Amino acid sequence: MKYALVTGGSRGIGRAVAIRLSQAGIPVVINYVQNETAATETKAEIEKAGGQAELLRFDVSQPEEIEQAINAWEDAHPDDFIGVLVNNAGIRRDNLMIFMQNDEWQKVLDTTLNGFFYTTRRLLKRMMTKRDGRIVNISSLSGLKGLPGQVNYSASKSALIGATKALAQEVAPRKITVNAVAPGFVESDMTKDLNESELKRLVPVGRFGKPEEVAALVAFLAGEEAAYITGQVIGINGGMY
């Protein structure tokens, strides 16, 4: 059976993606690092609707934790494989660059960029052997245009776009697609500290997006109908450029 792994799947966009993929009939592995309560609630919601979900705790910035967690999962699922990977885990540590501390830079890149590398590398061999895989990386409007106060975040999300385009070409012969989704302002824990009333004036459609809207796009890219779409970056931002 083919499973989907959603990193940072307990809240916000990750939670919506996990729920949406389960609605498409894909068993979901919900990764989390700290908030077990939120992860458990997401799992319960999926199961209540008749879907299948499991929890898998590891820190995407720690390759040893990834190895241990996925080794254990594969040992428990000898006949299954993770054929859909949504690299959603990310953090913000906003600051003007002149004031930015080393750890504010490093932690953001470790989670978003290194997390993509460690997790994807670990799962890629099985996808290539099966000649089947969908990888969707959650980038950001910040990675497309850059936003002041987010040099670290913009750098990590922009690098993720470059990695998406390169990896897509490497694995296309094995029927694996790699795409990126770049949300703008979306209602989530990541944006709850932002001034929505002010910022939504910058959005042509006049509102923040909903996590479920991003999840619908991710689910399409993870499906069979998207087999000819790879190496693409799709913005979902209410018309912001």
- Please report, as a single letter, which amino acid is at residue 230: T
3 is catalytic: no
State the catalytic residue, choosing from 3, 118, 153, 241: 153
Nearest 10 degrees: Cα torsion 181, 170, 32, 106: -90
Nearest to 115 by CA among 43, 190, 32: 32
Nearest to 164 by CA among 151, 150, 152, 181: 181
Q: How far apart are CA 42 and CA 88, in angstroms?
A: 15
Write out the two tokens for 49.
Answer: 């609707």
SS (H, E, C) 13-81: HHHHHHHHHHHCCCCEEEEECCCHHHHHHHHHHHHHCCCCEEEEECCCCCHHHHHHHHHHHHHHCCCCE
Write out the two tokens for 137.
Answer: 């990386």
Which residues, including other chains, have CB under 8 Å from residue 76's CB and lie 6 or more apart?
none
> Which residues carry out catalysis?
153
